Amino acid sequence: MKDKFLLFLIFLVSVSILLQTGIKKKRPSPYDYGKIIINNFSEKLQIPPVSFNHWTHRAYFTCRLCHIDIGFAMKGNETKITAQDNIEEKYCGACHNGKYYFKDKKVFEACSKEKFEDKCRTCHNTEKNGKMKENFIKFSEEMPKDSFGSEINWEKAELEGKIKLIDRIENLKMPKKPEFKKPTDFQLNAKVEGLPNIIFSHKKHTDWMGCEGCHPDIFLGVKKGLTKYSMADIFQGKYCGFCHGSVAFPLINCQKCHTEKVE
């Protein structure tokens, strides 16, 4: 009975926040969850925008590798990627340069100085890609399940050894990062009476993002309580909402964060 009450309470809180923020979005399919359409320059050049599926990369690499070492912004289309950048082995071209090998296979070259041709459509393709969808279905069949978003429990997949994340690529010539002592988990009290409190795990986040992914760009300081935010802020894509709701598990999966049992 208590569990049903908590679920109902969480539902009411979520609806209340959605009404306050004016957010009403169609829920994407598991295959499309985390998809980014990159279109800063493409249509101006009369070529299709780039369709990027996060799952194709998060299955093998940490978020930190791309968003810190390589330098992609945390929001779609904030990194003004050009074909010339890729040719110079920046951004996508850091790996997609026709030289880097992954799992004994040469990674395809992202861009060349030649005119737009069929091979460019590997990325410049916003149409329904049957092969990519088929690959996702095959990949997800072997992964532990989740209720929302991509419907893959990525954390559990890593713990079970079904995915092994790469956090460093030698050809990027980045200095080896020092080992930091990971801060301990801590509790955040729910602001609605009856809701389970939040247990925030630094380990879960630093394994994927490192410290640099959140501090100081998303959370200003490293001292608990220094950054003030609310669920309304998060639903607007700030703070935790930078990732949760777009790529990491969505905010409607309340029980992922509100985990401490209410006595």
For the chain, give every domain's residue range. Answer: 2-28+178-260, 35-139
**Burial (0-12, 13-18, 19+ Cβ within 10 Å), 65:** buried
Q: Is 240 helix (H, G, I), strand (E, B) or coil?
A: helix
> What pLDDT shows up at residue 156?
95
Q: Which amino acid is residue 27, in one-letter code?
A: R
The reply to whether 35-139 shares the fold of 2-28+178-260 is: yes
- The Cα 155–Cα 106 span in angstroms is 28
Mean pLDDT per segment of 10 residues, for the chain of length 263 residues?
52 51 70 94 92 94 94 92 94 93 91 81 79 92 95 95 91 71 84 86 90 89 82 92 93 89 59
- The Cα 168–Cα 51 span in angstroms is 25
> What pLDDT shows up at residue 73?
93
Nearest-CA neighbor of 69 among 155, 216, 182, 171?
A: 171
Q: In 81-168, at which residue ranges do the beta strands (DSSP E only) sit?
A: 101-102, 105-106
pTM: 0.83
> What pLDDT shows up at residue 128?
63
Q: Return the CATH class of domain 35-139.
A: alpha beta
Homologous superfamily of 2-28+178-260: Cytochrome C3 (3.90.10.10)
